[in-house]
Chains A and B, each alone.
Chain A
Amino acid sequence: MSDITPIIQSKLSTESGRRRRPTSLAAHGEPAVWLMGASLTLSLMMIAGLLSLIAYDGFRAFWPREIQRIELASGEVVLGEPIRTETFTPTEAPTEERERTLYRVGNRDTSQASFRWVEQPQVATASTPDDVVLVERIAWGPWLGELERMERVTADGSVEVLSEGHEQTLSELSEQLPLAKQRLAEIESLQRSVIDRANKQREAWRLRVAVANRQLADTDTAVRGLSKGVWTPVLAAGLGSLAAGWAGRKKRWAVVAWCAAGLLLVGAWVEQPTAGIAMTAERVEQIKSDSSQAERELVERTSEAEARIAALVAANDEVRVLIREPRTGRVAPTSVSKVDDPLRVAQVVRVVPANELSLAQKWGVYLSRWREYLTDDPREANTEGGVWPVIFGTVVLTILLSLAVVPLGVIAAIYLREYAKQGVITSVLRIAINNLAGVPSIVYGVFGLGFFCYTLGAYVDSGPVEPLPRMPWWLMAAGLGVVVSTSVLMAASGRRASTLGSTASSRWLQRGAGIGWLSSVVLIVVLGSTTPYFHGFFADRAAENIPTFRSKGILWASLTLALLTLPVVIVATEEAIAAVPGSSRQGSYGCGASRWQTIRRIVLPGAMPGIMTGAILAMARGAGEVAPLMLVGAVKLSPDLPFDQTAPYIHLDRSFMHLGFHIFDLGYQSPDPEASRPLVWVTTLLLVAIVFALNSSAMLLRARLRKRMGGPVV
């Protein structure tokens, strides 16, 4: 130690005698570190708090609660699940503080509300008897009461008592309930596979007859197409230029010849003399008789299924269960209008004798509620049942959106970074793209509704609103052919001439080719939107005023979100591409690779993890978006999934349910907010979990990509 002392002393003063100060805490950055640590801790605490609140309330929601039997001082007996207790100041006694408890009392058919505040002083006795049950019903919410008996009432009016008392009825229910559910499932599947399909066919036949009638009335749709005298030379010219292109030695003229051949041959095919056959009264009659024949067959086919359904419904109607509530002494009714007709077993979802359940049984109830929630359709204005269509809609939307946005964004970013000359225009474009990311999402929603649903959708349904006459349209098509072939020639000769010290002429050639590509894109759009040959994919339905794509739908919703998330993908991809080291590119060029080969084989694989990051961000943002979806496709209830077993299996025109919108709907649009509150938590938990799952699977994929590349695996 003593050896070191002189050195330390010498450190404290300089040669000129100025004393060196010991380094202060501030100089070490101690307060800054504390501040940074504090703000990080605060942020983490807020996030952790949010997540644990969601997790706590979400996971707790389905746990079976105890059922209390409360005798009030007034002599009234109330059954209810205690929800929460609070102190309050009653208006009649502003100085007092009293305690009150909120009970879920259910039985909406006999009492008006299914929740009830009970003030503590009013309670005479409170107990948790074993013989009370909570019955979850398909309609009208839960019913709390005491199981009395089960009976079978056959069609002739004879009553057979199946069980008596709590114990017996409970065990009998565990036998009868699955049977009833089986019958319900069979009814459902018959509905879907036979009745719904038959109805679709009926609708198709009805449309066919309507179209035939309309065509008969409309004389314009008579024979179209060229006369043979004109058509033959067109076909011959097309084949001739095809052959000329084939035989042509000069590549550039072959391109022109092929363009012309394509135009002429497509024209000949579209305008062939046999195109369009006039509708005659006989054909209409024929179609009508075919239709009625088909209707007879359909009736024959469905009558069997309908009889089976009727039998099943009758069987379900026989078995009844009497659950009496002590307050009014009434049994659970089968419907609100028939208060004395007891509940059918088929109307029961689940019977929970909450107070006598063992822990294992409670877990059983809990898991079965989760299963119902994840795999069933919603019931009772979404406040009960499951969210399967909602999950499905959200996931399909997210997948469709990333399928749309990733290729588009990546292609745009590649052009912007690799091909476009870096200058004022690209800078302006970049700023514009970054600004697009800041546009409020509802604006995208409005745009999506106006453009995708009403404009593009109308085009898909029934073709161009104002198609051009045939002659000007073909002239424009020929113009497109000229522009395309000129651009090809200009690009080819511009590239050939652009050796070192590129000349002014080569620059003009390349610029000309660029303008040519741009105008050909514009021309293609104009040609497509004014074509006289396209009458829409769903013209028949559109003529009957039934929109198909001209309405909200999952396709338009995902395209709107794709537009919304496009800047994210473009920016991420551009950064990833720029991060690919120049030495790799140089090496690739040195091996004799072209620019495109370098991009495809070196730049894109190297940028892939970054592109994945962009895709992850886009997916997460898209999955959590609500505002634009309310305009372009998300609806409160749509049990029809975008994919099912009826042709054409993929129904991108359908509206869908979305978790974000579902949360909004449950929390703020529900007729009974108190009843839907637990579901708000569960649905929030689910949305967070789905976004987390999507993100982590994408991250896993990215990590694997990086590992394959040999880069850092983070």
Chain B
Amino acid sequence: MTTLETTIAMTNTKLPRPQPAAPREYPVVDAIRAGEGFTPEIHEEILEQDSVVQISGFSLWYGQSRALFDISMPIPRGKVTALVGPSGCGKSTLLRSVNRLNDLVEGVRVQGDISLNGEPVYGPSVDVIDLRKRLGMVFQKPNPFPMSIFENVIYPLRIDGEKRRRVLEDACKNALQKAALLDEVADRLHESATALSGGQQQRLCIARAIVAEPEVLLLDEPCSALDPIATLRIEDLIREIAESYTVLIVTHNMQQATRVSEATAFMYLGRLVEFGPTEQIFQTPRLAETEDYVTGRFG
């Protein structure tokens, strides 16, 4: 052991140390740290587009601690929008606020509003169940239910009270087709879904999310638990699905954001920092924080 450790230590010393970056000014971060207000940089191209979800002045508290600070942004219709940012910056919280999954957490409080196709999400007369049926959600870890593949896919229809066998079967085939899973599972639709591989399970979850034809698809780091090949397949799938759905995706992976999304929002410490078309965010960002984050020097 000791010899091995020594070897490792010696190898390490021989590696070129990364050159310390030139100290840069971070005006936005400084403003946040100082508790001053700032205006997030939202590119005009985004504002010009038609939006399906409109977030306006939205803040969220978990008990005493505030997770989201006054976020206002549109989600462009028919596009893939990526939410990026360091861990704990509130990406997932924001995503879960859209379908009110945060309601399940004890002691959550919100301010401001989100609207879905013009209807308020947080209004007093909103039925949360109906709202969630209009949105599809895919989680970080594949979470197939312990039932057959068929039952998994049509779960949203079942809880909606759909009983016609024909309709269910067609919807299942359709959704699996769209999720590029049909060919692999066509002959074992009635076997347990938990026997599928991780990547297949995640595609199954995507099929489940789109079977009820939602207005927006919410993806919460859908590839973070998958191997690179499965990840690529899912990314292809997201691009295909984007032709017919609006997709909001949270990701940790910068390359993934450039590969799948058309718009990217950078979040930091619970605030929206910069939001624009993906190529602009990655190539010509307007803020130093964004540039350093997407190039891996910050955050």
Q: Which residues of A contact B (CB under 8 A)?
A: 7, 10-11, 496-497, 499-501, 581, 583-584, 586-594, 597, 601-602, 605-606, 708-711
Q: Are B146 and A591 closer than 8 Å at their CB atoms?
A: no
Shortest beta-carbon distance, B217 to chain A, in Å?
11
Top 6 A-B pairs ranked by shortest CB distance?
Answer: A592-B133, A710-B192, A710-B194, A590-B137, A592-B132, A583-B143
Tell me if B287 counts as interface (CB < 8 A to partner A): no
- Asked if B146 and A709 make an inter-chain contact with CB atoms under 8 angstroms apart, the answer reads yes
Alpha-carbon distance between A581 and B209 when the two chains are bound, in angstroms: 19
Chain A binding surface, main DSSP class: helix
Q: Which positions 192-214 of chain B face chain A at CB distance < 8 Å?
A: 192-195, 205, 208-209, 212
- Chain A residue with minimal CB distance to B133? A592
Most buried by A among B100, B108, B109, B128: B128
B160-A499 in contact (CB<8A): no
Residues in A whose Cβ lies below 8 Å from that of B192 = 708-710
Q: In the docked arrangement, what's the CA distance between A594 and B103, Å?
A: 12
Task: Evaluate contact between A587 and B145: CB separation under 8 angstroms.
Answer: yes
Contacts of B255 in A (CB 8 A): none
Identity of the chain A residue whose Cβ is nearest the Cβ of B146 in the assembled complex: A709
Total A-B contacts with CB atoms under 8 angstroms apart: 100
**Further 20 A-B residue pairs, CB within 8 A, beyond A591-B209, A594-B159:** A499-B122, A499-B123, A587-B208, A588-B145, A588-B159, A589-B104, A590-B136, A590-B137, A590-B209, A591-B133, A591-B155, A591-B156, A591-B208, A592-B129, A592-B130, A592-B212, A606-B146, A709-B146, A709-B192, A710-B192
With A499-B124, A601-B158, A710-B195 in contact, do A10 and B2 touch (Cβ < 8 Å)? yes
A500 to B96 CA separation, bound complex (whole angstroms): 13
Let me know if B101 is at the binding interface, CB within 8 A.
yes
Tell whether B11 is near chain A: CB-to-CB under 8 Å. no
Q: Is B3 an interface residue (CB 8 A)?
A: yes
Residues of B within 8 A of A (CB): 2-3, 99-104, 108-110, 122-126, 128-137, 139, 141, 143, 145-147, 155-156, 158-160, 192-195, 205, 208-209, 212
CB-based nearest B residue for A14: B2
Show 10 residue pairs from A and B whose CB-CB distance is below 8 angstroms, ordered by the A residue.
A10-B3, A497-B124, A499-B128, A500-B100, A501-B110, A584-B146, A586-B104, A591-B155, A591-B156, A592-B129
CA distance A10 to B128 in the complex (A): 68
Contacts of B136 in A (CB 8 A): 590
Inter-subunit contact A592/B160 (CB<8 Å): yes
Whole-angstrom CA separation of A711 from B192 in the bound complex: 10
Contact yes or no, B125 A496, CB < 8 A: yes
Q: Which of A7, A500, A588 contacts B3 (CB 8 A)?
A: A7
Q: Is the CB of A586 within 8 A of B143?
A: yes
User: A583 to B158, Cβ gap below 8 A?
Assistant: no
Q: How far is the CA of A593 from the CA of B192 in the complex (A)?
A: 21
The answer to whether A588 and B137 touch across the interface, beta carbons within 8 angstroms, is no
A708 to B110, CA, bound (A): 42
B159 touches A591 (CB 8 A): yes
Pair B155/A601 contact, Cβ less than 8 Å:
yes
Q: Which residues of A contact B160 (CB under 8 A)?
A: 592
Q: Which of B99, B100, B147, B194 counts the most A-chain CB atoms under 10 A from its CB?
A: B147
Task: Report A-chain residues with C-beta under 8 Å of the C-beta of B158.
Answer: 601
Cβ–Cβ < 8 Å partners of A500 in chain B: 100, 102-103, 108-110, 122
Contacts of A592 in B (CB 8 A): 129-135, 156, 159-160, 212
List of B residues within 8 angstroms of A11 by Cβ = 2
In the assembled complex, which residues on chain B have CB atoms less than 8 Å from the CB atom of A708? 192
Closest to B142 in A: A583
With A501-B109, A592-B130, A709-B194 already in contact, the answer to whether A597 and B159 are too (CB < 8 A) is yes
